[in-house]
Structure 1
Amino acid sequence: MNILLSYIFELSADYYTESDELLVSKVKTGNDSAFECLSVRMKPLIYHYGLRYPSLEIQEIHQDALILLYHSALQFDEEKCGKFQPYYLKMLHYRLVDWARKDRQYRYTMSLQQPLHQEVSDQSLEEILSDCKPTPENISIYKELWLSINPVTLGLSPFENQLLKHLIAGDGLLEVMEKEKKTERMVRNAYTRLKNKILSQLMR
């Protein structure tokens, strides 16, 4: 596995010489390179666990699993939990079960809300998404948030963080889809999560 990863990622010497627990202790001090190293080490396991839930988007799982990894590292107590990897995988398993349950509930709720004879909109998907452009007022809010928040403490995934940059630049969701080469569902889900997290930040 390490040989394969060395071809895919540019690994630092710490990847081979330091234990998970030592990397976690460095993450707690704000060491970004330690978190990157830990992320690369856990990535194959994240994908392995994520593939057990085919209804979930694997890229979304990976983004959210990295946020969980960061918070798990901050909360990890070696004296109580022993090894970090089993501790994190347990947290990841519980989170995946919760995500899958919420995804099923969402799909069920949406199916109940669909009318028996649904009117077909004349607008194409591209036209609908192109209407979802941030207003000048929203762009101003996004810029203010960008200057005042830490994406990690806000709980933004890498893609949500990138989406916020696009919104600040005035890009609509359709433009984000094209530039990031993401599906409509992934962009819409990330946009919804981003709005909820921003609202939560403003309510504090």
Structure 2
Amino acid sequence: MTFGFAPSSAASLSTSATSANRVLEPGEWAAAGIPLLRNPREVVSGLHSRHHPRPETAVVAVLDPDDRLRASASFTRRQSQADGWMLRNALLAQLRRVIPHDLRRRTPVRTAVLLYCREGDTRWTEEDGAWMWGLRDACTLHGLRCGAYITLTQDGWQVLGEGRGGRRPSADSAPEPFATSEAPPPPPRTGGVSSDVLRRVAAR
């Protein structure tokens, strides 16, 4: 399994030691045993059609054991510096809005996945590492399995750590219509864009 690395920016070099502890490196993510998506393109296309994310928009979704979408929410990150703790709090706030926790279960049965639309190419960045840290911690606090982390750029989509991706949808493409031979399931609970979530978290 191989990963690409984007050049570090000046902001990345100035990241404090505390913030650095809230970033998952690609090797740590690969060793975490993240469950594979059965049909990643279907998941990505479904989330893209529902939320049509633009750069700096995150879409967190909860899947049932059959990888069917049960809830999703999107929000825009407006912080100048990525920090795993801040991103964890924002993800947890969205999960609490759209679906009850599973903390009473001995083992998680539902899985949370994260789609993040950003600028740049599909190579891993420190910001991706902060999102990974935040997703893993938010899942633990909400009683969910930590699932895939997916980036959406102008080049297409990429499941980091799996090497699976595609050109469509991309950050620039229009939403695709749903294509299935089965009757559609009940619509999942969704949350709208709430760009003030991170500001409220930062004010605490």
Report the TM-score when normalising by structure 2.
0.25
- Structure in which a larger fraction of residues adopt helix: 1
- Structure in which a larger fraction of residues adopt strand: 2
Higher Rg: 1
Task: State the structure with bigger RCO (CA 8 A, min sep 6), 1 or 2.
Answer: 2
Report the TM-score when normalising by structure 1.
0.25
